[in-house]
């Protein structure tokens, strides 16, 4: 097979989203998640940006990849499919939602798999690659997500699977009973299958990632997302061909990218994202051990549409928007309506007695298109009356021993969209 055959799958759009903080470490400045961010919330942020910016492309598949799912089982894909409304149809012919894990090469593998699906007529596919990577002492190594919307046409670049391999090699690993990643004897690296894998690729230029790097200054090494951030921060010109290869934990994957005309737009967004973020001393995580909020899996299931997709109800006659939506038996005269995630602050309060995550600002937001939202302002941000703000998904707490996600408020200027 001609490895350089013309692509039949293309990147329509892409976005890099980093954790909120930039922290200096001995490996340079790395991206770091706020206490209420994780692989789900970072992926949701750039996934929502994809859907917002491309209303004409409806993904019928979701390929997620992570090695830091807050819940290793069931992973991040079920949350993301719910948030992004990429869910199975009743006739079982609906979207394909799946998740890769196990090695940080899963990020590149997810892109390759999405290209195969699109080539096979099973697209468009949204790829969401997200990791909050830390060492065994909990120190940040990098926290970021990358979204790629892949379809049969697209201006960012053509994408073709370019090879894969497997050879047992424990360069880095995570145990289920200890946090973070650990590594063994670095002198073993010269036996890594990564170099041989890259050498075997037919390409003018290969961007090779291993389990350790390369480090991206400002982003660090955010796991599965690292090779793709490496791609979108590279200075490849339109018309060039390059191969993104990732080899870690003995699993190797590569995709070939035929750089398109809009690649430079994505690169600019990625560079801006890396240079943004909050700097300085990141506050310590609030102590969750003394906070035991009520939570119910039955309620969470019942209310999933309102919780993850802000499903409200709109009065057909008056246009008035009600959230949360009224009970079914009281919903005559209403139609389903999804709240916008942007709006203007009506009022706010900075609360010093709420026992978790404080001092905590709460705000009431008049949403664009109707309806209101009342909730927490994201950590270390302030809003005032009349400010434009947006809603971002965050982890509220661990009530019921699972992450409880909901929307927080942040100034519109700091957001992705």
Partner 1 sequence: MGIAGQIAIVGTAMTSFGVLHDMGYLDLVAEAAHGAITDAGLTMDAIDAAWLATAEPQTSGLIGDSGAAVAEALRFSPRPVTRVSNFCTSGMEAVRGAALAVAAGEYDIVLAIGAEKMRDVTPKGSLVAKTAEGSHPTLAKGRTAPGQFALLANRYLDTYGYTRDDLARVAMKNHRNAMSNPSAQFGSELTMEQVLAAPVVAEPLGLYDCTPTTDGGAAAVLSSREWAEANASHYALIDGVGLSVTGGYVSNFFEESGDYLGFASTRAAAARAYRQAGITDPRSELDLVECHDCFTITEIVNTEDLGLAERGKGVELLRSGATAHDGEIPVNVSGGLQACGHPVGATGVRMVVEIADQVTGRAEARQVAGATKGLAHTLGGPGVIACVMVIGAP
Specify the residue for token string 């600002």. 361
Under rule CB under 8 A, residue 373 binds partner 1:
yes
From 20-28, 190-198, 255-263, 288-296, span contacting partner 1 (CB under 8 A): 288-296
Among 296, 331, 336, 369, binds partner 1 (CB under 8 A): 296
Spatial separation of the C-alpha atoms in residues 42 and 341, rounded to whole Å: 16
Tokens of 336: 């389903």
In sequence order, the β-bridge partners of residue 247 are 252
To partner 1, the closest distance from the beta carbon of 399 in angstroms equals: 6
To partner 1, the closest distance from the beta carbon of 286 in angstroms equals: 12
Relative to beta strand 388-397, strand 342-351 is: antiparallel
Spatial separation of the C-alpha atoms in residues 22 and 268, rounded to whole Å: 18
Taking the least distance from each CB to partner 1, the nearer of 93 and 318 is: 318
Taking the least distance from each CB to partner 1, the nearer of 21 and 323 is: 323
Q: Which of residues 75-94 bind partner 1 (CB under 8 A)?
A: none
Under rule CB under 8 A, residue 370 binds partner 1:
yes
Under rule CB under 8 A, residue 292 binds partner 1:
yes
To partner 1, the closest distance from the beta carbon of 386 in angstroms equals: 9
Collapsed DSSP state (helix, strand, coil) of residue 342: strand
**Which residues, in sequence order, are CB contacts of 174 under 8 Å at separation 6+?**
67, 180, 181, 182
Best CA proximity match to 55, nearest among 34, 35, 85, 93: 85
Taking the least distance from each CB to partner 1, the nearer of 275 and 292 is: 292
Under rule CB under 8 A, residue 364 binds partner 1:
yes
Q: Tell me, residue by residue from 338 to 357, as one string, x for binding to partner 1 by CB under 8 A and - for no binding.
A: --------xxxxxxxxxxxx
Q: Which of residues 106-145 bind partner 1 (CB under 8 A)?
A: none
Under rule CB under 8 A, residue 295 binds partner 1:
yes
To partner 1, the closest distance from the beta carbon of 175 in angstroms equals: 31
To partner 1, the closest distance from the beta carbon of 354 in angstroms equals: 5
In sequence order, the β-bridge partners of residue 211 are none
Tokens of 103: 């090695």
Contact status, residue 405 vs residue 411, Cβ threshold 8 Å = no
Q: Tell me, residue by residue from 238 to 257, as one string, x for binding to partner 1 by CB under 8 A and - for no binding.
A: --------------------
Tokens of 271: 């560079």
Spatial separation of the C-alpha atoms in residues 416 and 50, rounded to whole Å: 10
Taking the least distance from each CB to partner 1, the nearer of 35 and 173 is: 35
From 61-69, 86-94, 253-261, 299-307, span contacting partner 1 (CB under 8 A): 299-307
Spatial separation of the C-alpha atoms in residues 6 and 399, rounded to whole Å: 50
The reply to whether omega before 324 is within 30° of 0 (cis) is yes
**Which residues, in sequence order, are CB contacts of 73 under 8 Å at separation 6+?**
none
Spatial separation of the C-alpha atoms in residues 338 and 307, rounded to whole Å: 11
Under rule CB under 8 A, residue 293 binds partner 1:
yes
**Which residues, in sequence order, are CB contacts of 150 under 8 Å at separation 6+?**
9, 10, 11, 12, 111, 114, 115, 118, 123, 124, 125, 126, 127, 159
Best CA proximity match to 31, nearest among 14, 48, 16: 16
Q: Which of residues 382-401 bind partner 1 (CB under 8 A)?
A: 385, 396-397, 399-400
Taking the least distance from each CB to partner 1, the nearer of 4 and 304 is: 304
Give the total of residues touching partner 1 (CB under 8 A): 45
Taking the least distance from each CB to partner 1, the nearer of 8 and 295 is: 295
In sequence order, the β-bridge partners of residue 63 are 98, 127
- Binding residues for partner 1, rule: CB under 8 A, are 291-296, 299-300, 307, 320-324, 346-357, 360, 362, 364, 366, 370-376, 385, 396-397, 399-400, 404-406
């Amino acid at each position: 097979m001609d490895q350089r055959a013309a692509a039949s799958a293309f990147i329509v759009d892409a976005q890099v989203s980093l954790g909120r903080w930039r922290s200096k470490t001995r490996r340079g400045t790395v991206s770091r998640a706020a206490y209420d961010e994780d692989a789900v919330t970072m992926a949701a942020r750039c996934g929502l940006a994809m859907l917002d910016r491309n209303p004409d492309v409806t993904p019928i598949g979701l390929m997620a990849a992570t090695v830091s799912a807050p819940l290793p089982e069931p992973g991040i894909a079920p949350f993301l499919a719910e948030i992004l409304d990429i869910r199975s149809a009743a006739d079982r012919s609906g979207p394909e939602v799946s998740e890769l894990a196990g090695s940080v090469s899963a990020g590149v593998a997810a892109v390759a798999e999405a290209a195969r699906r699109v080539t096979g007529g099973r697209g468009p596919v949204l790829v969401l690659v997200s990791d909050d990577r830390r060492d065994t002492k909990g120190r940040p190594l990098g926290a970021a997500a990358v979204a790629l919307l892949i379809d049969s046409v697209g201006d960012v670049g053509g994408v073709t699977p370019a090879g894969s391999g497997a050879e047992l090699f424990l360069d880095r690993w995570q145990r289920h009973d200890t946090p973070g990643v650990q590594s063994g004897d670095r002198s073993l690296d010269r036996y890594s299958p990564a170099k041989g894998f890259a050498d075997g690729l037919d390409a003018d230029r290969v961007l090779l990632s291993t389990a350790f790097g390369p480090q991206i200054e400002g982003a660090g090494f955010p796991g599965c997302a690292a090779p793709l951030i490496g791609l979108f921060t590279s200075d490849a010109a339109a018309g060039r061909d390059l191969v993104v290869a990732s080899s870690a934990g003995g699993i190797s994957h590569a995709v070939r990218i035929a750089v398109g005309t809009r690649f430079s737009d994505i690169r600019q967004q990625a560079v801006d994202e890396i240079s943004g973020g909050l700097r300085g001393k990141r506050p310590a995580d609030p102590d969750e051990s003394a906070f035991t909020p009520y939570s119910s899996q039955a309620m969470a299931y019942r209310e999933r549409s309102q919780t993850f997709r802000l499903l409200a109800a709109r009065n057909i006659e008056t246009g008035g928007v009600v959230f949360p939506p009224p009970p079914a038996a009281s919903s005559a005269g209403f139609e389903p309506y999804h709240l916008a995630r942007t709006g203007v602050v009506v009022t706010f309060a900075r609360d010093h007695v709420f026992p978790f995550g404080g001092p905590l600002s709460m705000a009431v937001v008049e949403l664009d298109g109707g309806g209101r939202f009342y909730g927490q302002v994201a950590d270390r941000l302030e809003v005032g009356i009349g400010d434009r703000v947006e809603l971002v998904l965050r982890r509220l707490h661990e009530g019921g021993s699972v992450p409880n996600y909901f929307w927080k408020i942040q100034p519109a200027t700091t957001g992705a969209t």
